[in-house]
Structure 1
């Protein structure tokens, strides 16, 4: 196991041992606040009951997110209501899905949709994932063979997406997307899944898997807090900017008497 020491420690703080996990797909679930705090800072309503599972709702009430570790199989459920041409959709993610990968999708729920045409396979191909066809299905597999992304065309006309990861000991997770799931959300998920960046886990939360690399790092509590707060602050700033832009749009019409006054002064 590798050991690394982070620089810039301040006086009066005790460093804590954490681990950088690669590949991220096998890092385990992580802290669900990585997802929920960003959404809360983006204006989502936390409608969770005390002591109950996480339950959040988008500002326009069209998307709902829940997380429950107690039900079987347990995990995340994201549901979007039908709206205009967009049909109702649903995403189910196992409870061991890393929160950093889930956030790839959920962060997009709190941001304006990009104008570019989404391409689910592009982020995977950029990271040298292997792609192949299996009959009517299309499959992408990570270079280490531990993670996958499937597009399945069923005989009943449905075309759902399926993703997941599993190590040699059978430890892993899966995610299912209905065929009506907005494609830019599936693309955001695939980009987070394929990212080569490691994710951090505290001591005691490192999965027992022979397929992961765990690099030990010493981190100050203030550093962890600053990183978490930076993510929340960015969400609040983006939300404030969007709300301000909506409320300060200039008028597109000119009052008739103002135009007349202007005409009289140009004699």
Structure 2
């Protein structure tokens, strides 16, 4: 039996629920046969990608608030992923939210996380539920209340269906042979 690899991922407080959902949905889906590469995905979304010595790489969103960094360990064979969202310089030194993935995290999980991060679809928030609301544009539109709950239920149902299909696809296709019928022998009667 193959030993399982332990890996670590951490999603900080205030990480947008849509991004967490992109990551957790990837946990129940089977990994893709050929995964996307993160850096071209970020470049396509308009991010600036920089490469440094020792295989360190960093991408910055045009708003200056979000960075994705892949850093090499001391031996250069180990890398970790850090995602940090912080206010632009002059608006404070604290992070709005962050995420971390170690080198053993299955490759498709950080990729799906970044895919959710670069999604340009508007997100639904309550009027006063946005930290640093002066940094975003809020517009009232889209699904509300029951519609949001129905959309959430539909997403969960689709994720469960995908997980069931993956389990069925990986289940053995042959059934074990049944044991031959037991031969009945007459029992000796006591005298």
| TM-score range normalised by the length of the shorter chain | 0.7 to 0.9
The aligned counterpart of 2:28 is 110
- For residues 4 and 38 of structure 2, what CA distance do their matches in structure 1 show? 18
Classify the secondary structure of the residue corresponding to 1:216: coil
Cα pair 2:12 2:99 within 8 Å, conserved:
yes
Tell me, yes or no, if structure 1 residue 95 matches structure 2 residue 13: yes
The aligned counterpart of 2:72 is 153
Identify the match of residue 45 of structure 2 among 106, 127, 133.
Answer: 127
How much has 1:200 moved relative to structure 2? Answer: 0.9
Tell me, yes or no, if structure 1 residue 163 matches structure 2 residue 87: no
Tell me, yes or no, if structure 1 residue 202 matches structure 2 residue 131: no
Q: TM-score, normalised by structure 1?
A: 0.56
Q: TM-score, normalised by structure 2?
A: 0.76
RMSD of equivalent CA atoms:
2.6
Q: Aligned ranges for residues 61-80 of structure 1 at < 5 Å?
A: none
Q: Computing the radius of gyration over CA atoms, which structure comes out larger, 1 or 2?
A: 2
More displaced, 94-103 or 214-223?
214-223
Unaligned runs of 5+ in 1: 1-82, 252-267
- For residues 3 and 68 of structure 2, what CA distance do their matches in structure 1 show? 26
- For residues 220 and 159 of structure 1, what CA distance do their matches in structure 2 show? 41
**Count of residue pairs the alignment pairs up:** 170
- For residues 139 and 247 of structure 1, what CA distance do their matches in structure 2 show? 40
- For residues 100 and 12 of structure 2, what CA distance do their matches in structure 1 show? 9
Which structure carries more relative contact order (alpha carbon 8 Å, separation 6+)? 1
Identify the match of residue 178 of structure 1 among 97, 102, 126.
Answer: 102
- For residues 99 and 230 of structure 1, what CA distance do their matches in structure 2 show? 16
Q: Aligned ranges for residues 8-19 of structure 1 at < 5 Å?
A: none
How much has 1:147 moved relative to structure 2? Answer: 0.8
Q: Structure 1 residues 145, 220: closer, same or farther in 2, change over 3 A?
A: closer
- For residues 35 and 111 of structure 2, what CA distance do their matches in structure 1 show? 10
Cα pair 2:10 2:101 within 8 Å, conserved:
yes
Q: Structure 1 residues 248, 222: closer, same or farther in 2, change over 3 A?
A: farther
Classify the secondary structure of the residue corresponding to 1:124: helix
The aligned counterpart of 2:179 is none
The aligned counterpart of 1:192 is 116
- For residues 176 and 146 of structure 1, what CA distance do their matches in structure 2 show? 17
